[in-house]
Structure formats: structure tokens, C-alpha cells
Structure 1
Amino acid sequence: MNLEAISSVRQVKQSHPQIQHANSILSSSAGYLSEYASDSSSTPSGNGYETPPSRLSTPVHRQMQMQESEMTLPARPQAAVPAPLTVGQGANGTVPPYDTLGHNRLSPPTPGVDDTPYIRFAIEQLTFDEELAGRGRHSSEVPDYSHSQQTISGQPVQTTPPQQQKQRQPPRRPLHFPRASSEQSRAKTGDIMLLPSDPPRDRHQLGFVPTPLRLISLGPLVLLCLLMMVGLIFSNIFALTNHGLYDYDGNFTPRYFVFEYLPPMLGFIIIFWLFVVQAAIYRTAPYFSMSKKTPTARRDRTLQTMPITPANFVLPDWRFFHLGEPMIGAVLTVFWLTNWTIPLLSCLYGTQWFTSVGTPRFRWTPVQGLAWFIVVQYLVLIAALIYCMIRFRRRNSALMWDPTCLADLIILFQRSNLLPDYFRSETKEDLPNDLPPRYCRLGYWTTNQSPDFFYAVGEANHPYLELSSSSDKYANEKMDSSRTSGESQEVLRNSQASSFARMLHSPWVRHRWCPWYLRDGAILAWAIAAVLLLVAFLVVSFVNHAVRGGFFAMLPARTQPNGFSPANFLFSFLPSLLGMFLFLAWQPIDVYFRAVQAYVNLSKHDGATARRSLLLSYNAQLPGVVSTKALINRDWKVAYFSFVSLMAATIPVLAGGVFTALLFANGEVRMTASMPGYIALCVLLSIYALSYLIIWPTRFRYLPHSVDSVGGNLSFLYASRLLKDSSIRNIRTKADFIARLNGRVGTTLTGDGRRAGRRTEKHVDQETKYGFGIYTGVDGKEHLGIDRMQRPGSGEMLVLTSRQNS
């Protein structure tokens, strides 16, 4: 409607009202206004009229317009309601204002009633509707005006035909409006949206890299690999020019130790160093992946599928190839291949009969081809370590400190917008498939409603919803999208809630999961196999002095010019390979007991302090240090199994160097053993085999689901009040965070900001304790997870304990 038409409408109010109706170009809201104005009139006849909409409006827009029309339409007196109206058409298609008798078909206006508010309301609805839809005057969809004509006060106002309008107006590109996502739709209603932000200058600058992944650690490791390569190359070249290295002087001398035991021992230094680097890669790889500014394919399930506990031992871990980190997968594959250099180093040197140098005698000499193969393998390892230097550097990190324990998740997720996704996830067994995919980011954030900056893991441009107001919505998202009635939805919602409550209190759900290799059947099989093999090994070794007297190799023992002897290679490589398998097979057991020890301590009936639960970081400790710290914390199984893990490294070293081929006085060549090394090997194998009898995990070490990912641990923290505690907000350093958890500063985790005195040794029993059990979450509902044992206003945590759980 243009200004000329509007002014004509105003003249109608002042002059004789004669209105001729035709096809209108009003919007759907104006059409609704016509219905509203005539809802008290009689039903129109077949010659009635209707107002076609000038454009298509979405149901959401129409519903909004209807609601606003009812709210903003001015109240009209009852006397102003028009009389029943019957409108017909003339011969020329127009609507005459008078019938054949000259009577006005419209009811006369009521004196004293001003229709100006209605006209203004219609104009406002037109303007509002066009602005809301983003179309209207700039729309490329033009209605048909070929039969439209308005006559106001006897003066016809011709509308411009569409063809002429298209000629007068420059051509415009049609506007397309994609369907808004649920997050964008909520954003229009004023939801808080997380927006990525650079670190403020007054905040802690990010870029922390764990010590094992820094240049100061990887550099010496690369140097050690280079020294091993230089030593191997030197021994090869020196042996070729000097007819071997040294004379053989028996199997009880220092030279025997140097050539048989020392090479694999040096190789194990690299292996244990790689274990430390590997553990650092596992626990930080998800956060380095989330530190990238632009999300890429296959990184939408980082939290729930990317592992954080080492698992690259007996079999290579190729999961990173499927998680958007193929180079990390390649690095871990190289690390896994390096494990098998130990059997090769065990059979690297042997004895050879030389007759060209003085008196014919046996001399130590390297296996030329094997040495060069190990050199190439270490060269590939150096390339992998150099990539780690490039990948894990400060510019690629968004970490504040090393995420080694459960407490670090509190800082990373206390203001995350991903927590509603984990609603009722603590009882789900297949957690990775139950959680929705999210392109997560780690760093500083701000919101569209506040200028404050905070540090967290979240999804960019995604609503920030509190769990207390959104948990039911997320839990019943699929149910609400169905076409069930409101009553059936309520019944189903109550059924889901009651089912979840039963699962929370079910001992079977609480103690449901542990790795397959630690289930009762698997442990029983390992124990029986280990004991039987140990008995067979001891019987074969000592009955009839089989080892002391020597035995025939059943293979040629003569050493070739390149240093290779089939008998020496087989009885050095094969025992060391079996010993390496035993060593690697124990590592997952050790890793599991380290990872779940925090939950074991939290599951005790009186809980545990932060130092013994939330701050435990056994998987991030150096080999040997774990046993010492576990003894201090009285975590006996962790201490013992960590010791066995370290002790098992001596099995492939001794097994690979204990046998050698010797020429006896009667001219026979037999395989003999170095008895001191062989006796030590038997003792170590006995300890290793009997250790399988005590690895049965107690029920405390059984959890509802796996905890080898960030999401698996977060499912036990998402509803905890620890994430909302004001005393641990704005943490700048790890030392400050640890002090607050332990109650050593002015504030403790009481939830009400009360100040507490400095902790002393006399008040250790008053230190804040935490537990793993059923607690009241931030949404006021019961959850299974980690929280303070006692919290003002919420009572004590219910820890599911019994005699069989201890």
C-alpha cells in the first residue's frame, strides 16, 4: 500500500465512505485482520470475497502474527461491529458499492467511533510482516495484479501491472532462506551463545606442552638413538676390517655381558622413554586436536572416542587413523615397531671361528645385515620424534597445564556448553555411540551477552545451556519430536526417569564394565596357562641337567662370514621375542590399574582426599616412580603391578642372551646356557606367572562403562556441583588449583564461598573428601558420579558399598 492509498483511506473517514473491494495485496496478517474484523458477521455467500496473501508466510511467522494481532489490536466497542455483509460483483468484474435499489451494502459507520487505530494497526502489520520475513518490497515474487483495482471515494487507483513493475525496477536476485538449525533458532530468542576468543592479555597465556613432548626431552632421546646408530655402524665396519671385535673368553665374563645383555638393555632405555612420550601423546592428543582453529573431518567425536590411556603394546593402536589424526597414528605405529628391536638386539652379536688371525679361535662379531636393519629402524624412529617436535609445540597447544588427572576436567569443562549432551550418560554402556557428534574447541571464549572471558572446552556458536534447565529437554529430544500426545509423552518421560533411577541404584550397572582381559574367565585362563607353562619350563630346564650339559640345536651352528648363525639366531631371537610378548602383555594390566585407582579410592565408604583421588596421575608418572608414590598412598596393587611391569623388562633381556653355541672337546656343537643368567630368568618368570593369580580386580574397579576417553570420565562429572563451585573459578596455575582442592588456602569447596583456615597436619581428617556414588546434581536430580561426600543443603553422598565390594 503506497502513501497515496493511505491518504485516500484517511479521506474516507472524513467524507462519504464508499469503498469498493477487490483482490487485495495485503499480507497474511492483513488477511487475518479481515477475518478478525468480520468474525461476528454472518457467513458470506457464494459471491463473497477473500484476500489472497501477497507472499507465502511460514507457519511460525503466521502464528507469531496471530498472537501479536490478538495482543496489540485495540479494543473496539460492541456498537462498532459491522452488520452482516453481502458483497457481489458487477458485470465488469468490479464490486459496486450500491445494490440495484441504491442501498449501501455496507452498514453505516457508527458515530463517534474512530477507525484510525485499525488502519494504523493494519499498516504496522504489513510493515512488521515484511521485515520479519525479510521479503516484501524487495521480493522477486510479485502477485498477479491484472484484475486488481481499488476505488476510494469514487477515484479509481490503478495498480501497476507486474510487467511494468519489472521494467521499472532493476532485476533482483531471488532471496533464499535456508532452514535455520535448532541452535540458530534458539539464538534468535536470546540464548547465550559461545563465541571463540583470543586469550586476553591479562589472562594466562596458553601454549603449555608436557615435558615429555618438549624439545628438552625429545632432543636427548633423538641423541640417544643417534648414538645407538653410530655404535652399530662402528661395530659393523670395525668387525669387517679387524676380523671380529674381541676374543670369546667364556659365558661368565664381562665380555659376555657386554655382547649379550648390554645391547637389549640399552634398547630398553629407549623403549621406556618412548612409553613416557607415548603416554603424554595419549593424554594430550584430544586437546591438541581441539586446539585447531578450523575443525576437519572425523574430528567430531574426539571427546568420546579418542583414547587418553596408552594402548599401543602387544598390538598396534590404529584408532587415530580413523579419528582425524593419521600422523599421530603413524607415529604410534613406529613406536610399536621399535618395541621389537629388543629381540633383534638380543641376537645381534655371536661367536665366529677365525683362522686367519694368529691362532684359530672364536671371536665376537656382529650380524651385518641385522645391524644395518636396526640402523634403518632407528632412523625411522628419529623421523617420528622430529614430527612430534613439530606437532606438539606451543603454537599448536591451547593447554594451561598438563591434563593428568580427573581434577583437570573440572577446569576444562566447568563452563562448557557440552554438558547437557551427557545427561544420564553415566549408566550407558556404549557411550561413544550414544553421545552426539560435536566439533569441540579448547581455548578462551566469550558470549553474545557478556564481555567476560573464560577458558573451557566447547562448541563454537552453540547455545550455552545450564543443565538444570535443559536436562529434560535433551533427554527427551527424540520423544518430543514424535507425534505422540502430550499425555503419552508425559507417561514416557516418567517411565524413562524411573528406569534411569533403577539403573542408578543397580549394583549390576555400577559394577558392569572392565576390560575383557581382566574378566573372570580371561584371568582364570591367563593364570592356568602361566602356571602350566612355568612348570613345564622348569621341568625341561632342570631334569637330567638338560640346560647345564647343553643340547643339540637341530640347526646349523656354523657362523657365516657375515656373522649369521642359524642356531645362535633362533635361540636368541625366539626366547627374547617370547619374553618381549610377556612384557608387553603386562602393560595394559598395569595401565588399567593405574587409571581406575582414583575411582577405587573414591568408592570407599568414607571417600578420599583430593590427593588420593582427583589428583592421582599414575599414568603420567615415570617408570619406577609409580611404585614409590603408590606405596606412599597405600595403593598396594598399583605399587606391585607397576613393579612387575618394570621387572618384566628383564625377561627378554635375559632370555635373549642366556643361550650360545659352543664347541665341546669331543667335537660336538651344543647350545649351552649361562647358568647365573638362567637361574635369574627362572626366578623372574616364576614371579611373573604367579602374579596372574592376584590380578583379579575388586568390584570397586568395575565401572558402568569405559574411562579410556575424556567423555568416559566426564560422564561422571557433568552434573557434579564441583563444576559450579565458585571457589575454583578463575584458576591461573595448577599449584593454586591443587591448593584449593586440598583446602590449603582461604577458600574450600564448600559451595558457599566460606573461608577456611590453613590446613595443618593436625587437621588432616578435616580435609575435604570426595566420593564416587549417587549424589544430587546441579539439576536437583540423582546422578552417579563424583562429588563431595558432604555438601551443605544436599546431604551425604550414597556410596554403593558392601562386603563383597571391598
Structure 2
Amino acid sequence: MNLVTEDIAHIHTVKQATPQYIKSDSLKSSSATNEYFSDYASDAASQISHGGQGYETPPSRISTPLVQQNPVDSEMTLPARAGVAQPAPLNIRRSQNGGPQNPGMLSTFDEMSPPTPDVDDTPYIRFAIEQLTRDEDVLGRGRDSADPDQLPLVSPAPHPVASEESSQTSTPPPSIPPPPPPRAPQSASPRPLSQINRKPVPQEVMLPVDLSKDLRMRLGFVPLPLRLPILALYLLLCLLIIAALIFSLIFAGTNHALFDYDGNATARYFVFQYLPQLIGILLILWLFVIEAAMYRSLPYYNMGPSQRNSWVLQDMHILPANFVLPDLTFFRNREPWLGVAFFIFWIANFTVPLLACLYQTQWITDDGPARFRWTAVRGVGWTLVALYVLLCLALLYCAFRFRRSESNLLWDPTSLADLICLFRQSNVGSDFEQTEISPEPNAQIPPRNLRLGFFTTSGRPDVFHGVGEEYAPIKRLSFQPHAAKDAPLASESIDLEAQRLSYGSGFARNIHSPFVRYRWVPWFLRDSTVLAWIVAAILLVIAFLAVSFVNRAVQDGFDPQLPSLTDSSGFSPANFLYSFVPAFLGMFLFLAWQPIDMYYRAVQPFRNMSQPAGATARHSLLLSYPAYGHLGVVTRALINRDYKVAYVTFISILSLSIPVLAGGVFTAIYFSSDNRVRIVASMPGYYALCVLVTVYALSYLTIWPTRKRYLPHNINTIAALLSWLYASPLLGDVALQNIETKGELVDRLTGSTFTAAALTGDGDSDEKRQRPRRGVRRLEANAGLRYAFGIFVGRDTKEHLGIDRLQRPGSREMLVVPTSQQHEKQVD
């Protein structure tokens, strides 16, 4: 009661002052502060308690930080009160004769008298509320979207400004508040007028460079599997197979078959029953390497001089997918002829079971004594000739499609480091904002007419090689080391309210969420699917072994249930069935393992970087298992101690023996003792087949991926990988500047020294000579640098999920384990 009495006495003893407008020219208008709003609300409440007319203000949606404003900077600035950040003075309405419309209304809160019933204060209360919530309205963000202190500065839309005379004489109706003056968004600290630049800054755009002879000679790289000599060698092998097939078909038709049958465990049996499909599946393995090179190169060929595709980053796969089912995405990506070529590559998988039934035994009676002889099945043979001719035509088209003149590459883009070099100065980074946590980042990227080649910019004279959109503006993210040093990661200081109001709080919560971090794995490696694979594989292998050895069914032979007599063209229904079907099933097992193998190869860099200690560049950024053949992957994985990748790829090699053995292990033999024909297995090959099938089935127990191999989304496109790199400080690392060859990139990331010219482009002055030497000394330590996949402070000084160095000088270590998991471990 004493405080209320003192307030009433203070109100009735204030001196009367003639109110007037206070108008100052300012480049920004301040919003009402929390102190303003709380003081005004408390005063209004006290007025209501004393019988005055007051107004109840609705609560604000978000609290605006207290900012000390200079009185001359605002059009609504009250004189400062001792110890308090004081709001601006109210603009007092004047009557038409120039005097105050209400003598009882004062210019400050210190001189405020009880409200006058004839004057409506609603417009001013609404204006104060609008100023408090203007941050959200200007930026279009909700309560839980962004922290006003961290919002980027945007230029407010221009408002029509009324004349000074009308602003002083006209009074808006009580129901419609006066339009607030234009206001710039608040920053963390007030900016002096001298630092505000209102002139528009010209945008820096990417400009293509006209290729001189020297620059043109540097381009045109073609991956090794797609070069003409390598493709010519593959075509030569295909032509040799075609020639051998035609010779066998013609010779067998004119000379009463080929050779006499001498048993099912001899060298001749191996040549006719195992060797053809073994050669065929080795060609399939080589074809996989060629396909992998086409997959990773095609997006960049579509950024070349003669052909462009606006969806190259989002829709074109960079990992092979032409295994169990044909990959038809090329038709959708406006590559119909390449789609036809890949469909032929997929049909080539059927050459292995067809080769398994190419040679069969035939009972010959018109050439000497009656006996069994090896002959070629004419229908199967000519089908194989047609398939290999189509394969040669498809390879010829691919050689034409991936010719040197269509390439603007400097080297083969096989790893994450290559991707960083190609996009480090690109102008498409802004398209990937917050895509690192999206389950489908490809759907969020807008189409771009991208070009791969040499560029310069309108603001810088240097020429660089990379990917970008011609004549499009560049939105650079400048990395501020002091901001990154001071910005705490959520693992060190968890403040739920601060995190809620941080940059895109929904986004901030997601990058720290274990659900988002460990959300994606291919459908065939999900827990329920892997469990189904394991159960099915074990049950089938048990059934296979039981049927094979119970009652000596395989050793003693079994009834073919089909006619076994070989006709004049060499075709026997029983022999065809028990050769083609086992080889076809074995080929399915081999192809079904290839996506598993490819996933483990592609995800291994992320697995290595997901360790708490990170991984070196050789085991992360430079790792490129999908680009190598099976034997190369096993060798490199053992050297790098990636034992699971080595084992999975070894099983992939081991599984190719299943269709080879399964297609040749059975043959029809006539038993004169009981005058019957039985299907009998070659027991050495059958024992080997049983062992291989058992090992293959048990290997499904090892494919269960650990959490370190789970990712936020897929990795089958360039856009999916760039979502974890667009904000990374790696794009601005000095180690990745002015790189001309793949060897130089490897040397820099692994710590080898290099010349000053390679680092800076020129080194004439003494100062420039010394700076590269310091850079060389820094980069000589690159062999000890660790890279991680987790939460880092990006070039925009905000937290992102992706790839960066585990720790940078003067900054905190990356958060590799999600926040909730880390705190669960600390509690444990």
C-alpha cells in the first residue's frame, strides 16, 4: 500500500508540459523493448486498480533481446531513466489549432498522468506490440524457428512515407493503428550510423572462361575403364568369344559333334562344363567396373559443352544399381540410348547360365562305334552370339558417348575429396541449406543448368576449375574463426530454451537427434530384412544339403523327369533344365550380393569418420572403393584394415563360383545295367558347391550394419553427398586450392610437400614466397589431421551436420556422437 500511495502522489505532483512531436531522421527504427512493454503493462494495471481507463495488452509471441538504442537513432525514443534501458517518447497527437489535444497526456512515463477518457491509446499499444513481434513478421519465421540475435540481416521492403505536414496534422482513427516506420532487423550490438552502407552491393557472378588451347589441353580426362584401348580390349575378348561360338556351332554340325565323352571328373569335362561360364562371369565382373565408371562420370559429362541436364545433381545415380533388376533411370534422365545400353548390360547376365548349357553329350551311332560325344547346342549358341553382338554394339555407343571431346574433367571423380575440389567455389551451395537432415534431399534441390569447366568471377580475376551455373550470383559463406571458437556445441552446454530459439530450432534439434543421424540404411539391410535373409539362407542351405546327401540321391543319380535324348541340333530337355536352372539360381545369388557389397564400399568413408577419433584423409576423403574391381577392393581394404569391407567383397568373388559350378555339375548319363538314364553329379564339383553355398548362406550373419554405417539419408547422388559438404570449412581449406592433378590432391591431403606456385598460383614477392612456406609447413602435418562425420560449426558460424576436420586450431572438437547419446554415456 505504501508503494501504491507513493505512485499516486507521484502521478498527481508531476509538472505539466506541452506535448509535441519528436521527429528525427534515422536509418532504422527501434522496436519497443521488454522494459517498455513490462513498465507500460504494470502502469496500465495500476491505473485500472484506481478506476482509470486501461487497456490489457496481449502477450507477445517471442521475446526480443534488450538492445540499448541511441535516442537520435529512433523516432520513438524516451529519455533514458537512471539504471534502466528507457524506451522512446510517445508521439503526442496535436489538435488542429496547434495546441495539445489532451493537456493531461505527457511525453514520458515519468510524467504520465491518469489517462483521459476522451483519448484512445489503442493505436499506440498496438504499435508497441507490432514492434515487439516485428522480427518474426519481417523474416517470416515462427516462434520456434530462429534466434533474433542470429538471424541474417535482410533489407526490409520499402514503405511509402507520408509527408511531414500530413504526419503532424492528421490523426488516424482509433480502430486503425498508424503504420510503423520502416525498421531494420536488430543485430547483436547497435551499429553506428557511419558503418551503415545503404548503397546496393553488386553481386559477384560466375563467368565461364573461353578455353584457350592450353586450358583445352588440360581438360578431356576419361576414366581408365572408359578409354578406347581398354574398351577395345574388352571388345576383342567379346569378338573372340563370338568367333569361338561360331566355330563350335559349325564344326559340331559338320563333324558329328566335337570330342568323345570321357567321364565327369576329367580335364575335358572341366573344359566343356565349367570353363565357358567361368569366362562369361569374368567378363561380367569387368563389365561391372565399366558400368561403375559410367555411373560416376555421366553427371559430369552432362555438364559438358554439348549436353546439359538441369537435374544432374538430383536424379543421376553415381553408384551402380544394374544388378538384380535393370536400372531404367536413364530413360527418365533423357539418356534413352544409354538406357538401352545398360539394359543390354543387364541382359548380358543371362549369358552365364546360357554358357552353362551350351555343350551337352550326344549319343553318336553313325561315326564309328556308338558312343557319347560332346556337342554344341545350336539354339543356345546362336542366342549367345546375338547377345554378345548386342553387347559389343552397346560398348561402341558408350565409347562414343564418353569420348574425350565430351569431357571437361581434370581427373576421375571417385572420392569425397574430388567432390570438394569440384564444388569448393561453386555457386550452388545455397540450394542445399538444411538438406543434411532431409530424408529425401534430392527432392529439395531446384533444377540448375550447371557447367563443368573453367570459371572466373566478376569480382576476382583468378581462373579456377569447377562446377557452377553460368552468370549466376555467388553466395559466399565466410568462415569466422572467432565466432566458431566462441560458439558452444550442444554437447558442452545444453540449454533447451536457447536451443529452441537458435538458428532454425527445428533444424538444430534434428541435427542433434539420434533418430535423424541413424535414420537411413538400404531397404535390404534393415533389421527385419536382414533377419529374413538370415532365416531364409539357413533354411535353404539345410534343405539343399539334406536333399543332396540323404539316400545318396546325388551320388547314385536321380530320374530326370524329362526326356534326355539329344536331338540333331544338340538339344536335350533334361540336360538343358539341369544346367540352365542351377546356373540361373547361382547367378541370382551372385547378383543379390552385389548391392550389399557396393553399399559397404560406398559407406566405409562415413563409417571411418563416425569413430570418436575420426579418420585420416587416406581412410576418409580419399577412400574410393566403388571405383575399383573386386580384387582391388579386397587388397586395398586389407591394407587399410577395413576388414569387413574386405570380407564382404571376398564373398562377392566367392559367390561367382556358385553359378559356374552349379551350371556344370549335373549331366545325364546312360546306365546300361538297368537301361535307364539318370542325372548324375560330378562329385568333386558338387562338394565344392556345397561348401561355397554354406559359406555364402552363413555370410548373411555378418552383413548386419552397425550404427556407424547408418546415415541421415541415401548417398546415391551428388546432391546427397553435397548436403554434408555445402557448409563445411573444408571448401575453404588452403590445402585444396589450385590443384591440377589427382596426384597433387593426394599429396596435399596426406601431408606431402608441394611448391609455392601450386599453393598460391604465383610467388614473385618475398612476402608471397614466405607465406607458401608457412602453408607448406602446415600442410606437411596433414598426415596427422583427422576428419569426422558429425556436428561442426560451418562457414556461416552455425551448427551443421556433415564432414569437416575433427578439430581446427582455436575451435572445439566436432561432435561425432549425437547429443542425447553422449549424455546417456555420461550418465552411465
Alignment of 1:68-107 (within 5 A): none
1:311 and 2:321 correspond: yes
Amino acid of the residue matched to residue 732 of structure 1? Answer: E
| Count of aligned pairs between the two proteins | 607
Change (3 A) 1:294 1:549: closer
SS in 2 for 1:774: strand
2:210 matched residue in structure 1: 198
2:389 matched residue in structure 1: 379
1:256 matched residue in structure 2: 269
1:554 matched residue in structure 2: 561
Give the whole-Å Cα distance in 2 for the aligned partners of 1:65 and 1:652: 76
Amino acid of the residue matched to residue 419 of structure 2? Answer: L
Larger radius of gyration: 1
Deviations 1:358-409 (A, max 9, x none): 1011111011011001101100000011111111111000100000101001
1:790 matched residue in structure 2: 807
1:771 and 2:755 correspond: no
Q: CA deviation at 1:300?
A: 1.7
Alignment of 1:30-179 (within 5 A): none
Match 1:224 to one of 237, 252, 274: 237
1:703 matched residue in structure 2: 711
Q: CA deviation at 1:695?
A: 0.4
1:624 and 2:631 correspond: yes
- Asked if structure 2 preserves the Cα contact closer than 8 Å seen for 1:776 and 1:794, the reply is no
Give the whole-Å Cα distance in 2 for the aligned partners of 1:192 and 1:363: 78
Q: CA deviation at 1:294?
A: 5.2
Match 1:606 to one of 601, 604, 613: 613
Give the whole-Å Cα distance in 2 for the aligned partners of 1:796 and 1:199: 43
1:474 matched residue in structure 2: none
Give the whole-Å Cα distance in 2 for the aligned partners of 1:790 and 1:493: 26
Match 2:290 to one of 277, 299, 306: 277
For structure 2, the residue ranges without an aligned partner over 5 or more in a row are 1-95, 97-156, 166-198, 480-497, 761-770
Give the whole-Å Cα distance in 2 for the aligned partners of 1:747 and 1:206: 22
Q: CA deviation at 1:453?
A: 1.7
Give the whole-Å Cα distance in 2 for the aligned partners of 1:710 and 1:427: 16
SS in 1 for 2:467: strand
Q: CA deviation at 1:467?
A: 3.2
1:543 matched residue in structure 2: 550
For structure 1, the residue ranges without an aligned partner over 5 or more in a row are 1-41, 43-62, 71-75, 79-186, 470-490
1:658 and 2:678 correspond: no
Alignment of 1:387-786 (within 5 A): 387-467=397-477, 497-665=504-672, 666-745=674-753, 754-757=774-777, 767-786=784-803
Give the whole-Å Cα distance in 2 for the aligned partners of 1:277 and 1:736: 25
Give the whole-Å Cα distance in 2 for the aligned partners of 1:759 and 1:637: 31
Give the whole-Å Cα distance in 2 for the aligned partners of 1:261 and 1:544: 27
- Asked if structure 2 preserves the Cα contact closer than 8 Å seen for 1:218 and 1:385, the reply is yes
1:29 matched residue in structure 2: none
SS in 2 for 1:791: coil
Give the whole-Å Cα distance in 2 for the aligned partners of 1:66 and 1:601: 58
Amino acid of the residue matched to residue 733 of structure 1? Answer: T
SS in 1 for 2:468: strand
Change (3 A) 1:510 1:731: same
1:8 matched residue in structure 2: none
Identity of aligned residues (%): 53
Q: CA deviation at 1:755?
A: 3.3
Deviations 1:2-56 (A, max 9, x none): xxxxxxxxxxxxxxxxxxxxxxxxxxxxxxxxxxxxxxxx9xxxxxxxxxxxxxx
Q: CA deviation at 1:274?
A: 0.4
Change (3 A) 1:758 1:300: closer
Q: CA deviation at 1:730?
A: 1.1
1:137 matched residue in structure 2: none
Q: CA deviation at 1:430?
A: 1.1
1:162 matched residue in structure 2: none
Change (3 A) 1:65 1:711: closer
Give the whole-Å Cα distance in 2 for the aligned partners of 1:573 and 1:292: 47
Q: CA RMSD in A?
A: 3.1
- Asked if structure 1 preserves the Cα contact closer than 8 Å seen for 2:499 and 2:509, the reply is no
Q: CA deviation at 1:789?
A: 1.1
Deviations 1:254-308 (A, max 9, x none): 111111001101111211110110010011111111114453xxx2221122100
2:81 matched residue in structure 1: none
Give the whole-Å Cα distance in 2 for the aligned partners of 1:583 and 1:505: 39
Q: CA deviation at 1:759?
A: 8.8
Give the whole-Å Cα distance in 2 for the aligned partners of 1:340 and 1:447: 52
Alignment of 1:280-359 (within 5 A): 280-293=293-306, 295=308, 299-359=309-369
Give the whole-Å Cα distance in 2 for the aligned partners of 1:425 and 1:200: 38
- Asked if structure 1 preserves the Cα contact closer than 8 Å seen for 2:306 and 2:406, the reply is no
Deviations 1:231-275 (A, max 9, x none): 000001001110000011110111111110011011112111101
- Asked if structure 2 preserves the Cα contact closer than 8 Å seen for 1:199 and 1:206, the reply is no
Deviations 1:41-90 (A, max 9, x none): x9xxxxxxxxxxxxxxxxxxxx99999x99xxxxx9x9xxxxxxxxxxxx
Q: CA deviation at 1:188?
A: 9.2
Give the whole-Å Cα distance in 1 for the aligned partners of 2:536 and 2:210: 57
Give the whole-Å Cα distance in 2 for the aligned partners of 1:324 and 1:403: 22
Structure 1 window deviating more from structure 2 (442-451 vs 633-642): it is 442-451
- Asked if structure 2 preserves the Cα contact closer than 8 Å seen for 1:293 and 1:441, the reply is no
- Asked if structure 1 preserves the Cα contact closer than 8 Å seen for 2:219 and 2:409, the reply is yes
- Asked if structure 1 preserves the Cα contact closer than 8 Å seen for 2:204 and 2:474, the reply is yes
TM-score, with normalisation over the residues of structure 2? 0.70
